[in-house]
A and B are shown apart, each in its own frame.
Chain A
Amino acid sequence: MSLLDDVANLRREAVEKIKGADSADTLGRIKVRYLGRKGLLTAILRGLKDLPDDQRKAVGARANQIRAELEQQIAEAVTGLSTEKSASAFDPTLPGTAQQIGAMHIVSQVMNEICQTFYGMGFEIARGPDVETDYYNFESLNFPPDHPARDMQDTFFVEGGRLLRTHTTPVQTRELERRNPPIKIIAPGKTFRNEEISTRAHVAFHQVDGFLVDEGVTMSDLKGTLVAFCRAFFGEDTKLKFRPSFFPFTEPSAEVDITCFLCKGKGCQLCKFSGWLEILGCGMIHPNVLTTGGYDPEKYTGWAFGMGVERVAMLKYKINDIRLFFNNNIRFLRQFV
């Protein structure tokens, strides 16, 4: 093998090592091995003087050329490594600078979610005034004048002979008056009660009422609908318990408990270890209410339910003070962004 071949092999070997080098240290060692004072290529160059003239010239030229080439490659590799380092100085962890998004009030969010669930079941949204007449708030809903049932709902009266609605059920009479069956309505809105403000009670709260009137509507339909709603809203495995109760505008009437969504019915702080949470009131619309609305109760039947929005939110988010909903402290509001 000629000395020229040795030089070529050395070059190939060195180029490969340079390519594979992943640090400046390795490149330094490669430089010493081939180009250092005792390096392999240096040794060849030193041995040139012992060669015959014809070979000395050719090998010398080639070895010097390779020496230059390797020096350059090593230098480039070193800069290459250091360039990569300066790229990793980019810091992606600085906070992004997008517009800070605002928070929808938690009452709006819960109310929307409830309405959307019923909207999906074909219910239509309706509203009514906050300042109501006695007729719509009480009389048309089968509260006789001076009846103890009116005490269940402490009422604010305003000058001019009206009152602040104590529930969104007046929407029911208003819609019965202006529609034809089948009527499927969901009525969200603000309601008022004359109660001392405390952690559990406030002068206002939000309610969602729903009702359905048609021929052949049964209590069984009511249960089915509420089971479907509660599963959609509180989770697939939610169970319901219907307890007889009293509302003047429904008969039969029921309170509905759902299995506690926190402990799944096992019993915990939230459900006061009962496994159940009281969530809404409901019942079959009283025949007197249908008659007042202009419907023959022999032909048409219907059901209705109502639930408190703040109450649902308080249960769901373990909020212990109803006053937080109306203080509008942004530290509260912004938790629900």
Chain B
Amino acid sequence: MKVSYHWLKELTGLDWPVEEMAERLTLCGTACEDIVSTSRYLDRVVVGEVLELHPVPGADKIRRAVTAIGSENLDIICGAPNVAAGQKVPVALIGAKLDSGFEVKKVKIKGVTSCGMICSQAELGISDDHSGIWVLDDDATVGKPLAECLDYDDYILDFELTPDRADSMSAIGIARDLAALASVKIRYPSFDLEESAESAADHIQVSIADEEACPRFTARIIRDVTIGPSPWWLQKKLLSCGMRPISNVVDITNLVMLETGNPVHAFDLDRFGSDEVLVRRAVEGEKMTTLDGKEHTLTPDVLLITNGKEGKAAAGVMGGEDSEVSSETRNILLEVAYFSPSVIRKSRRHLGIISEASSRFEKGVDPNNVPGASARVAHLFHDVCGGSVLKGVVDCYPKRIDPVTVSFRPDRCNKVLGTDIRPERMKQIFADLEFEVDGSDPMKVTAPTFRHDINLEIDLIEEVARVEGYDSIPDAQENIGPLFTPTHEEDVFEDEVRRMMTGAGFDEMISHGLVHSRQAAIIDSGLPYLKIVNPVSEDLDMMRNSLVHTGLIAVNHNVAHRNMDLRLFEIGKAYFPPDPDGLWLEDNRLMILVTGNSPASWRNASRPFDFYDVTGAIESMGEHFGWPSLRFEAETAPYYEEEVSFSIRCGDTEIGTIGQITETILKKFDIKQPVHIAELKISDLIKLSRDLSEFEPLPIYPAAPRDLALVVNETVQVGQVLERIRSVAGDMAETVDVFDYYKGKQIAEGMKSVGIAIVFRLKHRSLASQEIDKVQLDIIEMLQREFKAEIRTK
């Protein structure tokens, strides 16, 4: 909402500097976002008169305008189609800086030197009209600075309004806050009416079919108006609210809406087609063309102003094309009404139109200022357009809307705010806001009907707080001393995972979680997914159902930016539609992925990241969280290569899956290097985790390390070998680890060599070497028997 500084001064009589006015309004809840000077681009712009127009040889779109600026005549090249000799025009002299940041310079075009520029309103920052040059009034004095000539040295205040304060969508509304801050009275604009003897009621009848949707409708008739451009004082007010002047009648309806907040509509009475107004809901399939030239097929969601037969306006949203005021209009039917906010909201949604009127109606205008606004428009139609106003207003008000009275306890107000404001001061604040106050404790406070936001005591408490100023509330800290704070299990767990994963060299990624269903189907077409009904774009039409998907998106983005070597993890949710029992599942997961090569250093050569970099990260975390050791069971997932696709089990729990992404999927994601991913369920990991229950005493008996080298078939799983060794050795083996692994030359085709280091030690006594030899023999025998191992121990 834009309002000019001078307008606010005129309504309040306050002469605060513009910055102070903006700041104080902001601090009472009407946030001023921007202050712009109306004459910011008028420096070095003067009034000129076009004396002669000459063609420019070799160019048919531009002409040379000999233009008088008082002291001299300038040659100016002008391309505007509407320039004509005899016009008074704004001339930007050399050095003038215009709206687009353009500085006027002396230029040569087709051999002609141009010494200035004839400007449009847009170029001068007056409006967004750049259809042609701005033709000034004939009485403008040639050579005079334009700003002085226009008396347009003002500021435009741009307010960012909150949706609860519909009343602030008007100059008077904003002035009311100012008046309350300064404890002054608003100077309401005049609406003395000179009415003719003839009565409006004899010429128009109003009836309302849906009183809930239209609680009030008023009509007036104004005869014999002269349509023409508005006087400059009126144009200025519209321009300073960011609105383009059109004609006096339209401008006046806009002005009164900006002034009072009540939208106003003028019909061409002679084109309205009857002497009867009927407000009703549209019939399914009914058609109407709005004044923007668009034809709409209507439903009962749209409320219509009809002439008893057909729709002449979509109530509260936009007028109809066939009854629009034009340059031919003589007689006017003036509508000012109050419509139900929710009805207008539905209607404008159906029509797909957001107008100045609809945005006011849907937030709520003042039903009891409807006749006032009507009189104000009629007054201006008479004064400005020479119309004669028929006697009386036809006021159909079947559903009276009365002001709300709220009980207010001063003590409660101080208790909520933590303040010590005197009740008399509260009373004063209410009076300054034009609220009526009765009694003292509790006060009976009646807010006028322009304040739809006042319904409860707390609303009045806020009024006191914002007018008194939030600055006057002290900063107390005594009531917020620490209590014992329990931790949040999931939050603590995730935080630990983050610390460990980053410590292990993985970078944390976060996805927004919206993905493309077609892409999701490439990964796993069988997985159910949660569809977004109103996606922002076609390629973000569902919530992800796998963190593998968003992981691949991140890899795709990185390799496209030549970041080839990645170790990433993400903690986040996968989303699913409700299950048959109506239960909504959001599955919190940990995704770990590697691709590319490990960092090379002067000591260690780089090597490709692979499967074991992922399992290594999980195993290290498992050690910290006390998870049982991992087991991998071959399980086909559509997105993993068949050979490298496993479910991960920890004890009896399946905690997730791990594998190598298929070539086909990688191709679709433009990835040309292997990607290994694991996806784990956070809730299961938490269940498996436990704190160290008891400290283990340090060993006091010596350890006996023994190494075994064996060659086995390459299909033998080393994990099983280790498990069997542990079970044969029983409590004698402290650790069993792999120290070497080799496939290739020297080893027969289809075989692999594994080096296993066993440390023998008992907790309670020392071991004799014969005992160790015996167990080692048992182990070797077992390996030969169960795994067909060839033992190569030296």
Contacts and interface: CB of A to CB of B under 8 A. Distances in A.
B768 interface: no
A102 B503 contact: yes
A195 B536 contact: yes
B490 to A, nearest CB: 7
B742 interface: no
B543 A131 contact: yes
A328 B470 contact: no
Contacts of B462: 244, 251-253
B502 A158 contact: no
Contact of B476 (A124, A221, A246, A255): A221
A131 B530 contact: yes
B534 A194 contact: yes
Contacts of B533: 156-159
A92 interface: no
A46 to B, nearest CB: 60
B566 interface: yes
B580 to A, nearest CB: 12
B189 interface: no
Nearest to A197: B536
B540 A102 contact: no
Contact of A158 (B465, B477, B543): B543
Given A94-B602, A194-B534, A122 B29 contact: no
A254 B163 contact: no
A4 B459 CA distance: 115
Given A102-B502, A102-B506, A218-B418, A157 B532 contact: yes
A97 B470 contact: no
Nearest to A334: B507
B487 interface: yes
A331 B561 contact: yes
A103 B586 contact: no
A333 interface: yes
Nearest to B502: A102
Interface string B446-490: 000000000011110110011000110111111111111111101
Interface string A63-100: 00000000000000000000000000000001101011
Nearest to B503: A101
Contacts of B478: 224
Contacts of A227: 475, 477
Contact of A112 (B416, B495, B536, B599): B495
Contacts of A252: 417, 458, 461-462, 465-466, 470
Contact of A194 (B417, B476, B536, B573): B536
B681 interface: no
B477 A329 contact: no
Interface in A159-191: 159-160, 162, 164, 182, 184, 190
Given A151-B163, A221-B418, A330 B566 contact: yes
A41 interface: no
Given A195-B536, A203-B512, A221 B458 contact: no
A168 to B, nearest CB: 13
A122 B486 CA distance: 9
A286 B575 contact: no
A49 B324 CA distance: 143
B61 interface: no
A103 B164 CA distance: 43
B63 interface: no
Interface in A124-149: 124-127, 129-131, 146-149
B465 A333 contact: no
Given A95-B601, A158-B532, A246 B29 contact: yes
A66 B695 CA distance: 68
Contacts of A162: 584
B165 to A, nearest CB: 7
A146 B584 CA distance: 26
A199 interface: no
Interface string A271-285: 000000000000010
A326 interface: yes
Nearest to A156: B532
Interface string B330-357: 0000000000011001100000000000
A25 to B, nearest CB: 37
B28 A219 contact: no
Interface of A: 94-95, 97, 99-105, 107-108, 112, 115, 119-127, 129-131, 146-149, 151-152, 156-160, 162, 164, 182, 184, 190, 192, 194-197, 202-204, 212, 214, 216-221, 223-225, 227-228, 241-246, 248, 251-255, 284, 286-288, 297, 301, 325-331, 333-334, 337
Given A125-B487, A244-B29, 7 more contacts: A97-B603, A103-B502, A119-B485, A122-B485, A195-B536, A216-B415, A329-B557
Interface of B: 26-29, 31, 162-165, 341-342, 345-346, 362-363, 415-419, 456-459, 461-462, 465-466, 470-471, 473-488, 490-491, 495, 498-499, 501-514, 530-537, 540, 543, 553-554, 557-558, 561, 563, 566-569, 572-573, 575, 577-578, 584, 586, 599, 601-604
24 contacts: A97-B601, A102-B507, A104-B498, A104-B499, A120-B482, A127-B491, A130-B513, A130-B573, A130-B575, A131-B543, A146-B345, A149-B163, A159-B530, A164-B543, A194-B534, A219-B419, A220-B417, A221-B476, A224-B475, A224-B479, A245-B29, A252-B461, A252-B470, A333-B507
